[in-house]
Amino acid sequence: QVQLVESGGRLVQAGGSLRLSCAASGRTFSSYAMGWFRQAPGKEREFVAAITSGGSTYYADSVKGRFTISGDSAKSTAYLQMNSLKPEDTAVYYCAAAHSQVVVTWRGGYDYWGRGTQVAVSS
């Protein structure tokens, strides 16, 4: 069993930056692929970024070049650095973990989820 807790979400102006953190506890952090998803009001939860234990990354087109996913095995923490934020990035951001050695980009591929952290970007 893995427990995930997100933090770092807040209100920020357009063009600003935020770093979200996802603290994992339970099983060995380095055994999992990690991902970030987001869900805006009235919309489906969508993929944002993913990283494998080996460091391979993948991004949704909407965030490519602006967001960076990373992981720190020593701290059992995954991060999402978000730059050049836009109002359309406003959403609840969720961290997820998957029993996988490859990048996972679909919701159903993840085994554990955090409760989310709210990001709001004002124009």
**How many whole angstroms separate alpha carbon 108 and alpha carbon 120?**
26
Reported as a single tens digit per residue, the pLDDT across 60-114 is 999 999 999 999 988 899 999 999 999 999 999 999 999 998 999 999 999 999 9
Sign of torsion, CA 81 86 89 91? positive
Reported as a single tens digit per residue, the pLDDT across 45-64 is 999 999 998 999 999 999 99
- Asked whether residue 1 carries a pLDDT value surpassing 90, the answer given is no
